[in-house]
Structure 1
Amino acid sequence: MSTATTSAPATATDPATTPSTRGLVEITKVRKSFGATEVLKGVSLTVEPGGVAVIVGPSGSGKSTLLRTINHLEKVDGGFISIDGNLVGYEVRGNRLHELRGKEILKQRTEIGMVFQNFNLFPHLTALENVSEAPVVAQGRSKDEARRRGLELLDRVGLKDRADAYPRQLSGGQQQRVAIARALALDPKILLFDEPTSALDPELVNEVLDVIRELAKSGTTLIIVTHEMGFARDVADTVVFMDQGQIVEQGSPEHIFTNPQEPRTRSFFSKVLEPAFNI
C-alpha cells in the first residue's frame, strides 16, 4: 500500500468528533500531479449534506480530476478528502495516511455514485440488468429485490418501458439516464457527475438535465462538473469556478454569475455567457 505525503488529520476518523450527517464532503488542501504537471494545487472545498455544488471553468482547469479524487479514482499526492468525517481511500496509522486495500476502497465507493461522460454501461446487459447488477454483487441484495428497486429507478428517470432494451437500442440521452439510475441503485450518500451531457447531441441534453434537476431536490449531495451555465445557475446552491488547478472563486449562483469579484472569473464568464444571461 502507498503512503500519502500529508500528515494525517487529527480528527478525521474519530467518531466522537463527527456530527451526525449524511453526505458531508470535506476536501482539504488536495494536490495532484501527472508527471511534472501539477493539476490540483492545494484545493479545499466543503459541500454540506444535501448541497448541490456545480464546478465550472475552462478545459484543463482540474475540474474532472478533482471529481475523480472524491471517490479515489485518482489518488491524491497531498491533502485529504473525507465524507461524513471518514477519510476516502486512506486510513490513519500513527501520524501518516496509508492507502486502504482494494476491497475497502470498493466498499467506500458504494456510497459515492458517479455518472461519467460516456455512460459506461455494460453492452451485454439490458437497462434493468445494468441498474440491478451492482446491488447484488456489491451489497448482497437478492436478485428479486434488486430488480424491484431497478424498475423503480428506471421509472424515476422515465425509462421503465425500456427496461429490457440493450444500450445499443437506446439513444445517448436514454443511456445516460440509465447510468444515473445505476448510480442511484446503491443508495449513495453522494452523486458525482462528470460533464454528464458533453457526449450528447444538443436535442438530448435537456432530458438528462431535467433528471438531475429532480435529483437536486431529493436531499442527496450532488457535485457536478458541467459546461452548461444556465443549468448551473438553475440547480446549484454553490458554484465553484476553477482555473489552473485552483478554486478562484465560489459562491451562490447570483454572486458568481452576476457579481464575480475576481478578474479571472469575470473574464471567463464574459466569454461563455450569452449577453442577455448576465443581467
Structure 2
Amino acid sequence: MSTRATEIPTAPAAVHQDAGITRGLVEITKVRKSFGATEVLKGITLTVEPGGVAVIVGPSGSGKSTLLRTINHLEKVDGGFIAIDGTLVGYEVRGSTLHELREKDVLKQRTEIGMVFQNFNLFPHLTALENVTEAPVVAPRSGKPRLTRAEARERGLELLDRVGLKDRAGAYPRQLSGGQQQRVAIARALALDPKILLFDEPTSALDPELVNEVLDVIRELATSGTTLIIVTHEMGFARDVADTVVFMDEGQIVEQGSPKDIFTNPREVRTRSFFSKVIEPAFNI
C-alpha cells in the first residue's frame, strides 16, 4: 500500500462534503502522472458538475485516456487528487499524508464509476445478457443490495432493450458485430447504476458504418442525468452532446468551454491549429 505526502484537499466539496448531497460531482485537482521520465499529466484541474457531459478532445498522446483512467484509479496519480461527491478516489487522508486504499476498497469505489473501453472487454464465454448481469449479482455497487439471479436477469433485459439489443440477449460476443458488442458493454457499465460513466474512445475500434449506432446510445445517455466524461475523436458528436469541451495537448488542458466557444471561436492558437486539421470547413458554418 503506497503513501504520499501531498497538498491535502481543502476545496469545499472535496473530503468535507456530506455524502448524498450530490450525485456525480467530479473534481480533478492538480493531477500529475508520469511513466518513467515522461510526464503524461502536468497538473490537470477540471470539475464536472453532476449530470454534466464533458468531452475531452486532443491529439494522440496528449494524456486524454490516462486522465480518464486516473478517475477510477486504474492509473495511480503521482500528485494532486480526484474526488467524486467529496470522497477521494483511491486514497484517504491520515494526518498530512494520503494513504492508498486497500484493493477491496478501491474495487468498491469502482462500482460507482462505469467505464466503457475501446475494445469492449466482454467475457467471451458469457452471453450478452450474462455479461450484463454478472456484476450486480457478484459485486453490487456499494450500499446497494446484491440482486438475485432473477432480479438481475430482469434488469439486464431492460438495459439490453435500452441499447436496442434485447433480441440478442442469448448471443455470445463472437456472434455480435463490433457495434453490438460495444452496446452490450454500455449496458454492462449501466448495470450497477453508476454515478458517472467514462468512455474511452468508444468508437475507435469500430468499422465506420457501425459508429452511429453506438453514438446514438451515448446521445440518449447524455440526456439521462448521469455524469458522462467522454474521450473521443468524433468532433461532430462532441459538439452535439457536450456541456463542456476540454481540449488537451501535451498533458495539459489548453482550454475548455462550451462547444460553441471551443469549436467556433477558440482562444488559443494551439486549439485553432488542431481543429483546422481535424474539422471539415463546412463544420464551422
TM-score between both structures, scaled by the size of structure 2:
0.96
1:19-34 equivalences under 5 Å are 20-34=21-35
**Which residue pairs with 2:175 in the alignment?**
169
Assess if the C-alpha contact under 8 Å between 1:7 and 1:97 holds in 2: no
- What amino acid does structure 2 have at the position aligned with 1:193? F
Deviation at 1:155, TM superposition (A): 0.1
Deviation at 1:19, TM superposition (A): 7.5
Deviation at 1:13, TM superposition (A): 2.2
Q: Cα deviation per residue 1:130-168 (whole Å; 9 max; x = unaligned)?
A: 000000111222111111100000000000000000000
Could you say what secondary structure the match of 2:213 adopts? Answer: helix
How many residues matched?
278
- What amino acid does structure 2 have at the position aligned with 1:4? R
1:110-121 equivalences under 5 Å are 110-121=111-122
Assess if the C-alpha contact under 8 Å between 2:127 and 2:169 holds in 1: yes
2:264 to 234, 246, 258: 258
**Which residue pairs with 2:192 in the alignment?**
186
**Which residue pairs with 1:3 in the alignment?**
3
Deviation at 1:242, TM superposition (A): 0.1
Deviation at 1:5, TM superposition (A): 3.9
Q: Cα deviation per residue 1:159-203 (whole Å; 9 max; x = unaligned)?
A: 000000000000000000000000000000000000000000000
Assess if the C-alpha contact under 8 Å between 1:120 and 1:179 holds in 2: yes
Q: Cα deviation per residue 1:48-75 (whole Å; 9 max; x = unaligned)?
A: 0000000000000000000000000000
Deviation at 1:108, TM superposition (A): 0.3
Structure 1 residues 103 and 233, CA, compared in 2 at 3 Å: closer, same or farther?
same
RMSD over aligned Cα, in angstroms?
1.0
**Which residue pairs with 1:14 in the alignment?**
16
1:71-90 equivalences under 5 Å are 71-90=72-91
Assess if the C-alpha contact under 8 Å between 1:4 and 1:76 holds in 2: no
Could you say what secondary structure the match of 2:139 adopts? Answer: helix
1:49-68 equivalences under 5 Å are 49-68=50-69
Q: 2 CA distance for matches of 1:136 and 1:108?
A: 17
Structure 1 residues 5 and 35, CA, compared in 2 at 3 Å: closer, same or farther?
farther
Q: 1 CA distance for matches of 2:206 and 2:128?
A: 18
| Divergent runs of 4+, >4 A | none
Assess if the C-alpha contact under 8 Å between 1:209 and 1:231 holds in 2: yes
2:210 to 204, 211, 216: 204
Could you say what secondary structure the match of 1:168 adopts? Answer: helix
**Which residue pairs with 1:159 in the alignment?**
165
- What amino acid does structure 2 have at the position aligned with 1:71? N
Assess if the C-alpha contact under 8 Å between 1:51 and 1:220 holds in 2: yes
Runs of 5+ consecutive residues of structure 2 not aligned to the other structure? 141-145
Q: Cα deviation per residue 1:64-89 (whole Å; 9 max; x = unaligned)?
A: 00000000000000000000000000
TM-score between both structures, scaled by the size of structure 1:
0.98
Runs of 5+ consecutive residues of structure 1 not aligned to the other structure? none
Q: Cα deviation per residue 1:221-265 (whole Å; 9 max; x = unaligned)?
A: 000000000000000000000000000000000000000000000
**Which residue pairs with 2:41 in the alignment?**
40
